[in-house]
């Protein structure tokens, strides 16, 4: 038997996925760097800070203690209890630890939720701009993503009327993400409640991705839709994780808080796919949730300075407009005045100005690009100066 004789047919499920534009840009940036070019990346989807030491120490101690074997599939009892305490303490939400499932990252939590709740014939309402994995996960589950567009005119916020109009008798799930990746938008508590009301009225489940909960600016406040009322909680599945607020992207720890039947289904799926999340990473995660939280305010001071600088610089560029972010660490400037679509804009920006950013089309919104300011102020200054020169050049070519 030699490879030529094999049928390497790819499943329809896998073949239906779109290749990641983000990865394509990252690959090209790498290539340019390898060729000696000074490329600055504004594509990062992770904080540029280190995981706090007390969290690392807990994982190191767990390793030293030999905590290196399988744990229960849904996570250690210690971590599930710590997550339940977090919801009680910070969100005034009661969950039994049985309703908490720990997974291999917030992304894995999202995928498990969608697999556990959606199937062929189901529709899932997703506001755009969206985190790029949501529609692909829905497609993988055999269900149909229903994308509802929002623009910078409404700070990328979906209205209750838009949501109501998108819901049909096939709608199973509404995917909600505030603070948002890629826009940095944060819905006010009233806005959150109003969207939740529509879902309660229509009997639609909400998957609320709250991973950026703690990354807020100015007077923005976080409201979990589950905390609006017991009825809202009964309609909501929260997905969350430690990647962003604790800079633990590589640890792969996320968690879900769900109505018990859904939590049990997720646990079953996980027991046959990944088994448990990494044992000693879970020990670190307990420390992250229970330990000191001081680093977050320090990081937010730093992010705030960068956000203010980048927001001002972007709006001063000819034709570029940019809504200010209220959370997370991204800005989502409108580039439609350049006459270019986002992929072309980002390709030219990379090859001509040596700045890597993610085109808005990857998030379902082609008139924008995503800029991450999870990079040093020095890099940000240089990158925005290059972006300004590039935009000016494009303007003068018109
Ligand atoms: C980063 C991120 C996640 C989860 O990331 P993990 O590294 O898998 O924990 C989930 N949702 C959004 C919107 C994100 O940006």
**CATH numbers and ranges of domains, the chain:** 3-50+295-397 (3.90.1150.10), 69-290 (3.40.640.10)
SS (H, E, C) the chain: CCHHHCCCCCCHHHHCCCCCHHHHHHHHHHHHHHCCCCCEECCCCCCCCCCCHHHHHHHHHHHHCCCCCCCCCCCCHHHHHHHHHHHHHHHCCCCCHHHEEEECCHHHHHHHHHHHHCCCCCEEEEEECCCCHHHHHHHHCCCEEEEEECCHHHCCCCCHHHHHHHCCCCEEEEEEECCCCCCCCCCCHHHHHHHHHHHHHHCCEEEEECCCCCCECCCCCCCCHHHHCHHHHHCEEEEEECCCCCCCHHHCCEEEECCHHHHHHHHHHHHHHCCCCCHHHHHHHHHHHHCCCHHHHHHHHHHHHHHHHHHHHHHCCCCCECCCCCECCEECCECHHHCCCHHHHHHHHHHHHCEECEEHHHHCCCCEEEEECCCCHHHHHHHHHHHHHHHHHHHHHC
Percent share of the chain, pLDDT over 70: 99
Is the pLDDT confidence value at 1 over 60?
A: no
Range scoring the smallest mean pLDDT among 23-37, 228-242, 294-308: 23-37
Confidence of residue 213 (pLDDT cuts 50, 70, 90): very high
The yes-or-no verdict on residue 21 having pLDDT over 90 is: no
pLDDT at 2 over 70: no
Separation of CA 106 and ligand 1 centre (Å)? 5
Whole-model pTM: value is 0.96
**Cα–ligand 1 centroid distance for 211 (angstroms):** 6
Residue-level pLDDT at 3: 63
pLDDT tens per residue across span 110-155: 999 999 999 999 999 999 999 999 999 999 999 999 999 999 999 9
pLDDT higher than 80, residue 166: yes
Contact residues of ligand 1, CB 6 A cut-off? 45, 105-107, 131, 177, 181, 209, 211, 241, 243-244, 249, 254
Question: What is the 107 CA–ligand 1 centroid distance (Å)?
Answer: 5
Over residues 79-86, the mean pLDDT reads: 98
């Amino acid at each position: 038997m030699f490879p030529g004789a094999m049928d390497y047919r790819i499943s329809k499920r896998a073949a239906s996925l779109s290749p990641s534009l983000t990865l394509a840009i990252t690959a090209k940036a790498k290539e340019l760097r390898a060729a000696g070019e000074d490329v600055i990346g504004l594509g990062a989807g992770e904080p540029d800070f280190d995981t706090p030491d007390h969290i690392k120490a807990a994982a190191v101690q767990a390793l030293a203690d030999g905590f290196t074997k399988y744990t229960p599939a849904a996570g250690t009892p210690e971590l599930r209890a710590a997550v339940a305490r977090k919801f009680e303490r910070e969100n005034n939400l009661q969950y039994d630890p049985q309703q908490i499932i720990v997974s291999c990252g917030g992304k894995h939590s999202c995928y498990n939720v969608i697999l556990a709740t959606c199937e062929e014939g189901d529709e899932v309402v997703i506001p755009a701009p969206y985190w790029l994995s949501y529609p692909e996960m829905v497609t993988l589950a055999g269900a149909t993503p229903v994308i509802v567009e929002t623009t910078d005119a409404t700070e990328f916020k979906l209205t209750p009327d838009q949501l109501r109009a998108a819901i049909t008798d096939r709608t199973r799930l509404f995917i909600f993400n505030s603070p948002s990746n890629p826009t940095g938008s944060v819905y006010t508590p009233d806005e959150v409640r109003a969207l939740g009301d529509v879902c309660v009225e229509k009997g639609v489940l909400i998957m609320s991705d709250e991973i950026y909960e703690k990354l807020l600016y100015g007077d923005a406040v976080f409201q979990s839709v589950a905390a609006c009322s017991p009825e809202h909680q009964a309609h909501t599945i929260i997905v969350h994780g430690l990647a962003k607020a604790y800079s633990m992207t590589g640890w792969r720890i996320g968690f879900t808080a769900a109505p018990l039947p859904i939590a049990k289904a997720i646990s079953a799926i996980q027991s046959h796919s990944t088994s448990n999340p990494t044992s000693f990473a879970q020990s670190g995660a307990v420390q992250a949730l229970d330990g000191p939280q001081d680093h977050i305010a320090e990081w937010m001071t730093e992010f705030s300075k960068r956000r203010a600088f980048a927001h001002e610089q972007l709006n001063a560029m000819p034709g570029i407009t940019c809504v200010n972010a209220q959370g997370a660490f991204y800005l989502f400037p409108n580039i439609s005045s350049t006459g270019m679509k986002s992929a072309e804009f980002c390709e030219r920006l990379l090859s001509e100005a040596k700045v890597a950013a993610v085109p808005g089309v990857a998030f379902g919104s082609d008139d924008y690009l995503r800029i991450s300011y999870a990079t040093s102020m020095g890099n940000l200054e240089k990158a925005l100066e290059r972006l300004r020169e590039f935009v000016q050049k494009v303007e003068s070519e018109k």
